[in-house]
Chain A
Amino acid sequence: MSNSNLAIIGIGEVPTRIMPERTRWDILYDVCMEAIRDSGLDKNDIEAVINVAPQAQPKLAAELSFGKLPEELGLKGCKDTCVCNAGGASTSNCIRLAEQYIASGIAKAVLIPHVTVHSTIPLEEQINFFAKAGVDMQWEYPFGTTYNILMGMMANRYMHETGAKPEHMASVVTALRSWATKDPNSFFYQKKVPTPQMVMESPLLNTPFHKRESNILGDGGSAMVVVSAQDAGRMNKPVAYKLGESVRYFSGTPVLRDFYKVAEGFSVTAREAMAEAGVTKDDISLWNIYMAYPMNHPIMAEALGVAPIGEGAKYFAEGRMSFGGDIPWSTIGDAPGRGHTGSGVSTAMYVETARQIMGKAGERQVKECRYVFQNTAGGSGFNNIATVWGKEI
Chain B
Amino acid sequence: MDIQFDMTRPLPETQPWSKPFWEGTKQGKLLIQHCRDCNANIFYPRKVCPECWSKNMDWIMAGGKAKVYMFSTAYDMVEPKFMADLPYTLAYVNLEEGIRMMTRIVECDPTDIHIDMEVEVVFHKLNDEFYLPYFRPVKK
List chain A residues, Cβ under 8 A from B130: 142
Judged by a CB distance under 8 angstroms, whether A230 is at the interface is no
Tell me if A207 counts as interface (CB < 8 A to partner B): yes
Interface residues of B in 83-121 (CB under 8 A from A): 85, 88, 90-92, 100-104, 110, 115
Mark A126-167 against chain B: 1 for CB-CB distance below 8 A, else 0: 011001000011111111111011101111110010000000
The chain B residue with its CB closest to the CB of A203 is B76
A205 interface contact, C-beta 8 A:
yes
A215 to chain B, nearest CB (A): 11
**Are B101 and A139 neighbours in the complex by a CB distance under 8 Å?**
yes
- Cross-chain contact B76 with A204 (CB below 8 angstroms): yes
| Inter-chain contacts of A123 with B (CB < 8 A) | 3
CB distance from B36 to the nearest CB of A (A): 22
Interface residue stretch chosen among B5-13, B26-34, B51-59:
B5-13
Chain A neighbourhood of B79, CB < 8 A: 127-128, 131, 144, 146
Q: Is the CB of B14 within 8 A of A128?
A: no
Among the stretches A240-248, A252-260, A272-280, A349-357, the one at the interface with B is A252-260
A138 to chain B: which residues have CB within 8 Å?
A: 12-15, 18, 44
Q: Is B90 in contact with A149, judged by CB distance below 8 angstroms?
A: yes
Is there a chain B Cβ closer than 8 Å to A209's Cβ? Answer: yes
Shortest distance between the CB of B84 and any CB in chain A (Å): 11
Q: Which residues of B contact A137 (CB under 8 A)?
A: 10, 12-13
Q: Is A81 an interface residue (CB 8 A)?
A: no
State whether A146 touches B6 (Cβ < 8 A): no
A141 in contact with B10 (CB, 8 Å): yes
B38 interface residue, CB < 8 Å from A? no
Contact across chains for A143 and B72 when beta carbons are under 8 A apart: no
Which residue from chain B places its CB closest to the CB of A146 in the assembled complex? B78
How far, in angstroms, from A255 to B85 measured CA to CA in the complex?
21
CA distance A335 to B10 in the complex (A): 29
Of all chain A residues, the one with the shortest Cβ separation from B79 is A131
Distance of A64 Cα from B96 Cα, bound (Å): 49
Q: Tally A-B pairs: CB < 8 A.
A: 114
Q: Bound state CA distance, A124 and B7, in angstroms?
A: 11
A144-B85 contact given A124-B4, A124-B6, A259-B70, CB 8 Å threshold: yes
Instruction: Say yes or no: A157-B6 contact (C-beta < 8 A), given A139-B102, A144-B82, A204-B75.
Output: no
Q: Which residue from B5, B78, B82, B90 sits with its C-beta under 8 Å from A153?
A: B90
Asked if B80 is at the interface of the complex by the 8 Å CB criterion, the answer is: yes
B74 → chain A closest CB, angstroms:
4
Contact of A255 with B77 in the complex, beta carbons under 8 Å? no
Q: Give chain A residues whose Cβ lies under 8 Å from the Cβ of B88.
A: 144
Q: CB distance B71 to A156 under 8 Å? A: yes
CB–CB A140/B102 < 8 A: yes
| Set B12, B75, B77, B90: member contacting A139, Cβ < 8 A | B12
Docked Cα-Cα span, A123 to B3, in Å, equals 8
Interface residue? B66 (CB, 8 A): no
Question: Which single member of B11, B69, B70, B90 contacts A144 (CB below 8 Å)?
Answer: B90
A146 CA to B80 CA, complexed, in Å = 12
Q: How far is the CB of A122 from chain B (nearest CB, A)?
A: 8
How far, in angstroms, from A181 to B4 measured CA to CA in the complex?
36
- By a CB distance below 8 angstroms, the chain B residues around A255 are 92, 100-102
Residue of A nearest to B116 (CB): A160
Output the nearest chain A residue to B14 by Cβ-Cβ distance. Answer: A138
* A-binding residues in B (CB < 8 A): 3-6, 9-15, 18, 44, 69-80, 82, 85, 88, 90-92, 100-104, 110, 115, 126, 130, 132
Chain A interfacial positions (CB closer than 8 Å to B) = 122-124, 127-128, 131, 136-146, 148-150, 152-157, 160, 203-209, 211, 214, 253-256, 259
Other 19 A-B pairs with CB < 8 A, given A127-B5, A206-B75: A124-B80, A131-B78, A137-B13, A138-B18, A139-B44, A142-B10, A143-B90, A143-B104, A149-B74, A150-B72, A153-B72, A156-B72, A203-B76, A205-B74, A206-B73, A207-B71, A208-B72, A253-B44, A256-B100
Nearest 8 pairs of A and B residues by beta carbon: A152-B72, A206-B74, A157-B70, A144-B82, A153-B70, A137-B13, A138-B12, A153-B72
